[in-house]
């Protein structure tokens, strides 16, 4: 909802969200640092990412306090991206299987380690 | 026209879905925000699609290549003073710098609406300085990767697409940060000069929207490119 005098809110909420963003970033970095792999890596990284993105949008960008007409304009169109992601994932897997099946690529190689 | 005026002029004031229907059916101004803010949001939605195209393209090439994808955690590790390489440390610091800058920007917007000109300008300049720091660290990161032999067409560790995706996505994001720093400096100068004393400080919020968006994009790049 549009507030009476622009987007004016108490400072406290910005400090809280700021600290929360630091903590969430630290958590996602720890996922990498602790070398969590597989299912939990994807789950944790995506949850922390969604929370961070949500808080930035809702509080810092004030979407939480905007009128529904503007909120729908901002959040509505990007939803079609889910369809693009789905189709391109299907297409990508098909291309990979074709490379393995017809070009003899080996899909199970490990990447070379990095020498610093 | 400020928001308070829009409300005072008899605009629909219902919240939620009822307000949504009222705003659209009224056959007049739909968005009850300053026009600059509505246009910034529409620009940001279009920019969302550009970055999404890059990230979806990255997903597609990463899925479709049969070659192994290089390990970001090792590629972006750095050692300090002869220590063992710390995984992803530079990227972590860059993330913290950008989040800090988002916080200072939020404070600048808040002090703008409080009409505290001195603090608004101070926090905007602080935000710009943090943004410039971020770009500097990114330039350092690029120089390291170029030194390791990462090219848009090849790299020493695995799938060739790694280099092109890296330079494309971080380069385009870095360009946005650079533009944001310039934008912040211009608006901060105009605020300091007193250009908005009568008009109101919505421009600071609009600048802030752009800046937070740059941080928002980084959240996704950090997760998808560096962590996963």
User: Could you give the CA distance from residue B202 to residue B38 in angstroms, rounded to a whole number?
Assistant: 11
Among B11-15, B136-140, B167-171, the minimum mean pLDDT is found in B11-15
Are B21 and B130 contained in the same domain? no
Confirm if B87 and B77 have CB atoms less than 8 A apart: yes
Chains A and B form CB pairs within 8 A to the count of 209
Predicted local confidence at residue B181, as pLDDT: 97
Helix ranges (H only) for chain A are: 11-33, 39-55, 68-75, 81-103
B118: left (phi over 0), alpha (psi -120 to 50) or beta: alpha
Predicted local confidence at residue B84, as pLDDT: 82
**How many angstroms away from the CA of A27 is the closest CA of chain B?**
11
Predicted local confidence at residue B11, as pLDDT: 55
Q: How far is CA A52 from CA A47, B11, B13, B208, in A?
A: 9, 33, 30, 17
Predicted local confidence at residue A2, as pLDDT: 41
How many other C-beta atoms lie within 10 A of the C-beta of residue B19?
20
Buried-state track B83-111, b at ≥16 Cβ within 10 A, e below 16: eebebbbbbbebbbbbbbbbbbbbbbbbb
Q: What average pLDDT does the segment A60-84 reach?
A: 93
For chain B, what percentages of helix, strand and coil (3-state, to nearest 5) are there? 70, 0, 25
Predicted local confidence at residue A4, as pLDDT: 43
Total of domains in chain B: 2
Q: Is A112 contained in some domain?
A: no
Q: Is A32 contained in some domain?
A: yes
Among A1-10, B51-60, B206-215, the minimum mean pLDDT is found in A1-10
Are B43 and B125 contained in the same domain? yes
Q: Is A85 contained in some domain?
A: yes
Assign B78 to helix, strand or coil: strand
Judge: A53–B219 Cβ closer than 8 Å, yes or no. yes
Q: What average pLDDT does the segment B137-150 reach?
A: 94
- Taking only the tens place, the pLDDT of each residue in B107-117 is 999 999 888 89
How many other C-beta atoms lie within 10 A of the C-beta of residue B16?
11
Predicted local confidence at residue B3, as pLDDT: 52
> In the predicted model, is pLDDT for residue A28 greater than 50?
yes
Domain of residue A42 covers 11-103
> In the predicted model, is pLDDT for residue B51 greater than 50?
yes
**Of B166, B168, B181, B209, which is closest to residue B72 (Cα–Cα)?**
B166
Q: Which residues of B touch A96 (CB under 8 A)?
A: 63-66
- Taking only the tens place, the pLDDT of each residue in B147-195 is 999 999 999 998 999 999 999 999 999 999 999 999 999 999 999 998 8
- Taking only the tens place, the pLDDT of each residue in B68-122 is 999 988 899 888 887 888 888 999 999 999 999 999 999 999 999 888 899 999 9
Q: How far is CA B157 from CA A110, B138, B152, in A?
A: 9, 21, 13
Q: Which residues of B touch A35 (CB under 8 A)?
A: 73
CB-CB: which of B19, B78, B106 is closest to A60?
Answer: B106
Are B19 and B81 contained in the same domain? no
Q: What average pLDDT does the segment A52-77 reach?
A: 93
Predicted local confidence at residue A5, as pLDDT: 53
> In the predicted model, is pLDDT for residue A1 greater than 60?
no
Total of domains in chain A: 1
Q: Is A38 contained in some domain?
A: yes
Confirm if B102 and B83 have CB atoms less than 8 A apart: no
User: Could you give the CA distance from residue B190 to residue A82 in angstroms, rounded to a whole number?
Assistant: 40
Q: Is A113 contained in some domain?
A: no
Judge: B56–A107 Cβ closer than 8 Å, yes or no. no
By C-alpha distance, the chain A residue nearest B62 is A92
Confirm if B176 and B215 have CB atoms less than 8 A apart: no
Q: Is A64 exposed, middle or buried (0-12, 13-18, 19+ CB in 10 A)?
A: middle
CB-CB: which of A56, A68, A112 is closest to B212?
Answer: A56
Predicted local confidence at residue B197, as pLDDT: 86
Find the Cα–Cα–Cα–Cα dihedral B21, B25, B28, B34, rounded to 10°: 10
Q: Which residues of A touch B79 (CB under 8 A)?
A: 116
Question: pLDDT averaged over chain A?
Answer: 90
CB-CB: which of B68, B78, B220 is closest to A109?
Answer: B68
**Which tokens sit at B60?**
């597609």
As for the ipTM of the complex, it is 0.91
Confirm if A8 and B110 have CB atoms less than 8 A apart: yes
Contacts of B161 (CB under 8 A, 6+ apart): B61, B62, B65
Domain of residue B16 covers 1-32
CATH code for position B187: 1.20.120.80
Are B118 and B157 contained in the same domain? yes
**What's B154's DSSP letter?**
B
Predicted local confidence at residue A112, as pLDDT: 86
């Amino acid at each position: 909802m549009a507030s009476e005098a622009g987007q004016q809110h108490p400072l406290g909420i910005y400090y809280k969200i700021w600290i929360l963003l630091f903590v969430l970033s630290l958590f996602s970095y720890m996922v990498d640092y602790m070398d969590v792999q597989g299912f939990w890596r994807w789950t944790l990284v995506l949850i922390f990412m969604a929370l961070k993105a949500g808080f930035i949008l809702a509080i810092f960008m004030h979407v939480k306090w905007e009128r529904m007409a503007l909120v729908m304009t901002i959040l509505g169109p990007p939803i079609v991206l889910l369809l693009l992601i789905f189709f391109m994932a299907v297409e990508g897997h098909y291309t990979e299987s074709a490379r393995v099946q017809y070009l003899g690529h080996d899909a199970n190689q490990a990447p070379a380690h990095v020498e610093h | 026209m400020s928001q308070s005026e829009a409300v005072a002029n008899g605009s629909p004031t219902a919240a939620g879905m009822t307000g949504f229907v009222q705003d659209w059916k009224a056959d007049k101004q739909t968005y009850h925000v300053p026009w600059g803010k509505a246009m910034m949001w529409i620009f940001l939605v279009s920019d969302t699609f550009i970055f999404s195209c890059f990230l979806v393209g990255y997903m597609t090439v990463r899925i479709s290549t049969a070659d192994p994808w290089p390990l970001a955690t090792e590629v972006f590790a750095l050692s300090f003073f002869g220590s063992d390489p710390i995984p992803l440390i530079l990227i972590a610091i860059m993330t913290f710098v950008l989040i800090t800058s988002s916080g200072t920007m939020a404070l600048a917007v808040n002090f703008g609406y409080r009409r505290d000109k001195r603090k608004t300008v101070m926090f905007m300049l602080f935000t710009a300085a943090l943004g410039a720091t971020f770009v500097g660290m990114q330039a350092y990161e690029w120089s390291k990767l170029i030194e390791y032999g990462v090219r848009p067409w090849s790299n020493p560790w695995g799938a060739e697409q790694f280099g092109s995706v890296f330079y494309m996505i971080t380069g385009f994001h870095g360009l946005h940060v650079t533009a944001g720093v310039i934008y912040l400096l211009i608006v901060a100068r105009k605020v300091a000069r007193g250009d908005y004393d009568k008009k109101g400080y919505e421009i600071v919020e609009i600048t802030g929207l752009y800046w937070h968006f740059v941080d928002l994009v980084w959240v996704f790049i950090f997760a998808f490119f560096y962590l996963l």
